[in-house]
Amino acid sequence: MKALFTTSKMLVEKTDTAFVRYLHDKIQWDARLVAILGARGVGKTTMLLQHIKMYDNLDESLYVMADDFYFSQHRLFDLAMSFYRQGGKRLYIDEIHKYKGWSNEIKNIYDMIPDLKVVYTGSSILDLEKGGADLSRRKLEYKLTGLSFREYINISKGWNLPAYTLDEILHGDVKFPLDKARPVALFDRYLHEGYYPFFKEQNYAMRLNGVIKQMVEFDIPQFADMTVASVQKLKKLLYVLAQSVPFKPNYANLERDLEIRRNTLPQYMAYLEKAGIISVLPAKAQGIKMLQKIEKVYLNNPNIAYSLSEQEPNIGSIRECIFFAWLQTMHHITASDVSDFEVDGYTFEVGGHNKGKGQIESVPKGKGFVVKDNEEYAYRNEIPLWMFGFVY
């Protein structure tokens, strides 16, 4: 255990706390069991280490990776008990999905060591966990997504621009230091390589491809106990989606073309969604129908679109993709009956500089908005697309 403490302290000491993600202050860190889920690469590990460095007593806190060699000979529960007996108060477990049988051991820690607070991170596919212990009544669960446009700017420029509510954005109240930079130029860079916190590192495209490959070839197959043949079909499905988005699901055609059984295809789609590779836009519906009808499928964010597409992605698809990615982080978003999206009773039509208002003419006054790319200023019900990147 001494080696674990040494590694934990070393990682914490080297962690930069200059910028902290939007989710940090929303987490109830003093709860007995906290789960932080998210796709690979969105910054879960960094946020854990930042919290320990800023708020914890290092002698009473321990950070471990669930795939550490230590666990090849020791159980997670035994570590927790030993740590607690030595005065430990806060145990942080990173990438818990890599530890087999993790849910049963977390349940035992929660039930048998009530004074020990536990925070774990894991892949978003854990939302689909069917086996093991039910932790739903014990844990507080949070979802971390990729960088907003605001976060990207603050990291790259060293600024501290605030977030805005949706209503503030719809009133055009987003304040931007136009004397220092132009938002449209920064936005274009963000769309290509700014959604993941590792954008400042070299070879971003190569790193992102590696992240996607790990999710498709390791994370999902490990979780779903897939065969090699099933992994190949999953990769083919992703390839088809990447070349077709926004994609309106036609399961019959996909099943035929990819030779995937009908009851298996929805599972594959769910795995890709939870892993943070695609996003599924639900149709506007009520009751049980909300769980059944999918209007469109997008790639999760434009960076993935530019990474997976064989040719330059359609700019209209990119605009819709990023609007969807931002708004679903903070709001419930569905397809609109008359336009592209509906959020909290507002209707949005997303387009370029010359986008007209025809599709929202039937929407009540004050409820319909045209979201325009390549614009710097809001005018009446025309809102620049980049401003929605300040919603978190």
Per-residue pLDDT at 247:
84
Same domain, yes or no, for 196 and 132? no
Residue 18 has a CB neighbour count (10 Å cut-off) of 8
CA-CA distance, 110 to 372, in Å (whole number)? 49
Same domain, yes or no, for 31 and 136? yes
- Whether the pLDDT of residue 249 is over 90: the answer is no
Angle at alpha carbon of residue 92, lines to 392 and 28, rounded to 5°: 45
Which tens digit of pLDDT belongs to each residue from 131-190?
Answer: 578 898 999 999 999 999 999 999 999 999 999 999 999 999 999 999 999 999 999 999
Per-residue pLDDT at 290:
47
CATH number of the domain encompassing residue 99: 3.40.50.300
| 344, 369 contact by CB (below 8 A) | no
Per-residue pLDDT at 223:
87
Residue 43 has a CB neighbour count (10 Å cut-off) of 22
- pTM greater than 0.75: yes
Look up tokens 């529960």; give the residue.
Answer: 77
Same domain, yes or no, for 255 and 189? yes
Helix, strand, coil shares of the chain, percent, nearest 5, are: 45, 15, 40
- Whether the pLDDT of residue 236 is over 60: the answer is yes
Same domain, yes or no, for 213 and 84? no
Residue 28: domain span = 2-144
CA distances from 61 to 4, 90, 118 (A): 11, 5, 10
Domain edge (last residue) among 118, 144, 170? 144
Same domain, yes or no, for 264 and 245? yes
Same domain, yes or no, for 193 and 124? no
Bridge partners of 297, per DSSP, are 247, 280
Same domain, yes or no, for 108 and 240? no
Same domain, yes or no, for 249 and 231? yes
- Whether the pLDDT of residue 3 is over 90: the answer is yes
Same domain, yes or no, for 255 and 379? yes
Residue 225 has a CB neighbour count (10 Å cut-off) of 7
Lowest mean pLDDT among 6-20, 150-164, 255-269: 255-269
Angle at alpha carbon of residue 225, lines to 221 and 227, rounded to 5°: 75
Domain edge (last residue) among 126, 144, 162? 144
- Whether the pLDDT of residue 338 is over 90: the answer is yes
Per-residue pLDDT at 292:
55
Same domain, yes or no, for 237 and 101? no
State how many domains the chain has: 2
Same domain, yes or no, for 308 and 348? yes
Which tens digit of pLDDT belongs to each residue from 267-288?
Answer: 999 999 999 999 999 998 655 4
Same domain, yes or no, for 95 and 158? no
Domain edge (last residue) among 125, 144, 163? 144
Residues of the chain with pLDDT > 90, as a percent, come to: 83
